[in-house]
Chains A and B, each alone.
Chain A
């Protein structure tokens, strides 16, 4: 470990040279920050990982079943498990995707599930990211650099190799491929996550392409080459739903592919992740995920949600009104951590104002108990400090559902902050899954 600490500056310099910045694409906007690396890894024992893995696989299977159901039969609404307005008012729900059936019925090929480890040693799910979860490249490249600086660290500590991510990604694309090559579709080099797009294309053996490199003809997607165009069978798109196709969605989009939705609906290309799957990672829908698990899989949820209340339900409303001072309130309409309000930080007047806002639009808010999660050591200016940290686990769905034996551990740089979102500043760590 000391070895890695000694190389900290060197590794960060190399990351900066690679252009490793963190950009979170949410609600059509990029937040770009330098993303400092802390060499002390999060370590998860093999036993703990197995338990985590089972819970994540279960959760992603249920989410996938939910997305399929929502865009087809809607049993879960009819059976009264999820109120319909949580679906139809969700910004992630796209009526344009009704009836669309992706190859092999996979909707959430690459899921980024955010968790925290509570002081009670239990994992709690913070949120599901199903649209364009980014960040897998960071621990991947950090591991590569660490191995280069200090190979002996990885001989002494038996750490599961995480360099198979590219292979897992390729397997995910191959499984749903509708005939043709695999492409990583990027908005372009000015995008904050361009480094990740090019790196993942290289790692998975896919072609990296921008909108001008791709076109749809006769309901088939093609990649231009110097010679004949080549058919594309799987498109790992890193462009958000609104902008992927100027003819079916936002007409002003210059980074989309005209008629991509036409090729997709004809079943001629797999779009990874499937358009419209954001309906399942909505903050309001989060509340219902444990119910989805029992509804679709007839299983009890293995991983816990943070205790959550929906003011939409009368009983929850009275609880929230009575306990606002110790709850976290999240505005469902906002993302990126800015719409998160801690009741204890509000003045009496502000608290009353928030209560009124909640009563006026109950569907717009969720309330959660503050999960007291474990801190992790972070090296800061030569000494160790304790900081809050979360974990983004990457779950890939192909023929099987696989959890990547690693993950992105993000920590808050502000000692008082519970918000570990990189758009609020913060750094990252590698995540080691130990072989025993």
Chain B
């Protein structure tokens, strides 16, 4: 049942004035896991003077750290490769304990608790989680620009609107309240032109992808880039630099199945 996914990302960051001492951390290299084997990938970074290293973080994500010392007004990275997705190969190893507890962006609030209690319990843990996802999906309206990357689950619920990240955070907070381990996933479904966020829940000894924004399961058509307790653990890209400049970003991202 597996499928091969090819991916191609081209991200360009333009600065209005030259910047120096630019340090960055990219988590865009897809995770190599039993259910998602990375067959090949090439990451290239401009300017070429960038000094980089590859590492693995506490959540199992492969990242690229780097530094560009000299002045530059454009930063660009391209990543292309192929992955083999096969959900029958999912690992049966116990999830880390921290996926059962609140994280910085998913702390329970009174409102989250009340919302949680409005969802009927029942069925298997996976059915319960699917019910929570459905509740989030119907309660929220998708509204780009209404929230920011630092918006918490509690804040998003108070607005009842947001983007995929907010849907995922609220859903994860609810799962953890229900005692179901849950984690945040950043990635890209086939056919989308920008990064997406969903969640995985631990039930019956396996991780199951659930996409509360779309209100469906997240299976082999989803390329996983990185995971964490919430967004703050795994932004696709972070950077700091010296200089006073405005940034504009142009993103091209594509995943296709063959």
Binding site for B on A (CB under 8 A): 74, 77, 84-85, 87-89, 93, 95-100, 215-219, 246-248, 251, 258-259, 262, 265-266
Distance (Å) between the CB of A263 and the closest chain B CB? 9
Taking CB atoms, residues of chain A closer than 8 Å to B239 are 247
Task: Indicate whether B101 reaches chain A with its CB closer than 8 angstroms.
Answer: yes
Which of A84, A217, A265 interacts with B51 by CB under 8 Å? A217
Please report which residues of chain B, range 42-74, place their CB below 8 angstroms from some CB of chain A when the two chains form the complex.
51-53, 55-59, 63, 65, 67, 69
Q: How far is the CA of A96 from the CA of B25 in the complex (A)?
A: 14
Instruction: Write the chain A residue with the least CB distance to B228.
Output: A95
Chain B residues with CB under 8 A of A266: 53, 55
A210 → chain B closest CB, angstroms? 14
User: How many Å lie between the Cα of A95 and that of B83 in the bound state?
Assistant: 28
B98 close to chain A: CB less than 8 A: yes
8 contacts between A and B (CB under 8 A): A85-B101, A95-B96, A95-B98, A216-B23, A217-B51, A247-B238, A258-B240, A265-B56
Complexed CA–CA distance, A259 and B67 (Å): 9
State A259–B240 Cα separation when bound (angstroms): 10
B10 beta carbon closer than 8 Å to chain A: no
Whether B127 sits at the interface, judged by CB under 8 Å, is no
In the bound complex, residues from chain B placing their C-beta under 8 Å from that of A215 are 21, 23, 67
In the bound complex, CA of A262 to CA of B239 (Å): 14
Once the chains bind, are B98 and A88 in contact (CB under 8 Å)?
yes
Are A84 and B97 in touch, CB under 8 angstroms?
yes
Cβ–Cβ contact A219 & B55, under 8 A: yes
Would you give the shortest CB distance from B258 to chain A, in whole angstroms? 35
Interface residues on B, range: 20 to 34
Instruction: Flag if A97 contacts B21 (CB, 8 Å).
Output: no
Chain A residues whose CB sits within 8 angstroms of the CB of B25 once the complex forms: 247-248, 258-259, 262
CA distance A251 to B57 in the complex (A): 17
Judge whether A89 and B97 touch: CB under 8 Å.
no
Which residue from A89, A97, A246, A259 sits with its C-beta under 8 Å from B101? A89
Q: How far is the CA of A135 from the CA of B63 in the complex (A)?
A: 38
Q: Given A218-B51, A259-B65, are A95 and B229 also a contact pair (CB < 8 Å)?
A: yes
The smallest beta-carbon distance between A374 and chain B, in angstroms, is 41
Q: Is the CB of B58 within 8 A of A99?
A: yes
Residues from chain A with a CB closer than 8 A to the CB of B57 are 96, 248, 265
Task: Pick the residue among B65, B100, B103, B229 that contacts A262 (CB under 8 A).
Answer: B65
Within 8 Å of chain A (Cβ to Cβ): is B8?
no
CB atoms of A219 and B233 under 8 A apart: no
Chain B interface residues toward A at CB < 8 A = 21, 23-25, 51-53, 55-59, 63, 65, 67, 69, 96-98, 100-103, 229, 233, 238-240
Min Cβ gap B205→A in Å is 17
| Contact assessment for B229 and A259 in the assembled complex, using a CB-CB cutoff below 8 Å | no
Q: How far is the CB of A268 from chain B (nearest CB, A)?
A: 10
Tell whether A218 pairs with B52 under 8 Å between CB atoms, given A97-B58, A248-B25: yes
Minimal beta-carbon separation of A320 from chain B (angstroms): 24
Residues of B within 8 A of A88 (CB): 97-98, 100-101
Q: Which 10 interchain pairs have the tightest Cβ spacing?
A: A258-B23, A98-B58, A219-B53, A88-B101, A247-B25, A262-B65, A95-B98, A259-B65, A217-B51, A217-B67
Chain A, Cβ-Cβ closest to B68: A217
Question: Are B55 and A74 touching (Cβ within 8 A)?
Answer: no
Given A96-B57, A247-B24, A248-B25, A77:B51 Cβ within 8 A:
no
Contact A100 B65 (CB under 8 A): no
Considering the complex, give the chain B residue whose CB is closest to the CB of A70. Answer: B97
- Contact with B23, one of A77, A96, A259 (Cβ below 8 angstroms): A259
- Whether the pair A251, B53 counts as a contact (CB closer than 8 A) is no
14 more contacts with CB within 8 A, not counting A87-B97, A97-B58, A258-B23, are A84-B97, A93-B98, A95-B59, A98-B96, A215-B21, A215-B23, A216-B67, A219-B55, A246-B238, A247-B238, A259-B25, A259-B67, A262-B25, A265-B57
> Residues of A contacting B23 with CB < 8 Å?
215-216, 247, 258-259
Alpha-carbon gap, A246 to B239, bound state (A): 9
B58–A96 CB distance below 8 A: yes
Expressed in whole angstroms, the Cα–Cα distance for A100 and B67 within the complex equals 22
User: Which chain B residues border A77 with CB–CB below 8 Å?
Assistant: 97
Q: Which of A88, A95, A100 has the most CB of B within 10 A?
A: A95
Contact A246:B100 (CB < 8 A) given known A217-B51, A219-B53: no
Q: Which residue of chain A has its CB nearest to the CB of B96?
A: A98
C-alpha gap A258/B26 in the complex (Å): 13
Q: B61: shortest Cβ distance to chain A, in Å?
A: 11
Alpha-carbon distance between A295 and B237 when the two chains are bound, in angstroms = 42
Residues of A within 8 A of B59 (CB): 95, 98
Instruction: Report Cα–Cα, A172/B233, bound state, in Å.
Output: 32
| Shortest Cβ distance from A77 into B: residue | B97
CA A85 to CA B102, docked complex, whole Å: 11
A303 to chain B minimum Cβ distance, whole angstroms, is 30
Which residue of the partner chain B has the closest CB to A222?
B67
Chain B residue numbers with a CB within 8 Å of A84 are 97
Question: How far does the alpha carbon of A74 sit from the alpha carbon of B97 in the complex, in Å?
Answer: 10
B53 close to A218 (CB less than 8 A): yes
Write the chain B residue with the least CB distance to A258.
Answer: B23
Least CB distance, B241 to chain A, in whole angstroms: 9
Minimum CB–CB distance from A251 to chain B (whole Å) comes to 6
* Neighbouring A residues of B51 by C-beta, 8 Å: 217-218
The smallest C-beta distance from A128 to any residue of chain B, in angstroms, reads 23
Of the candidates B25, B103, B233, the one having the most CB atoms from chain A within 10 angstroms of its own CB is B25
Q: Which B residues are in CB contact (< 8 Å) with A258?
A: 23, 25, 67, 240
Closest A residue to B56 by CB, please name it. A265
A99 to B57 alpha-carbon distance, docked (Å) = 9
Which one, B56, B103, B229, B240, contacts A246 given CB within 8 A? B240
Report the bound CA distance from A87 to B97 in whole Å: 10
Residues of B within 8 A of A216 (CB): 23, 65, 67
Closest CB in chain B relative to A227 CB, distance in Å? 15
Residues on A with C-beta less than 8 A from B97 are: 74, 77, 84, 87-88
Complex Cα distance A97/B57, Å?
Answer: 8
User: How far is A192 from B206 in the complex, measured between Cα atoms in Å?
Assistant: 50
A265 CB → nearest B CB, Å: 6
Q: Does B65 lie within 8 Å of A219, measured CB to CB?
A: yes
A320–B216 CA distance with the chains assembled, in angstroms: 48
Minimum C-beta distance from B52 to chain A (A): 7
Which of B53, B67, B102: most chain A Cβ within 10 A? B53
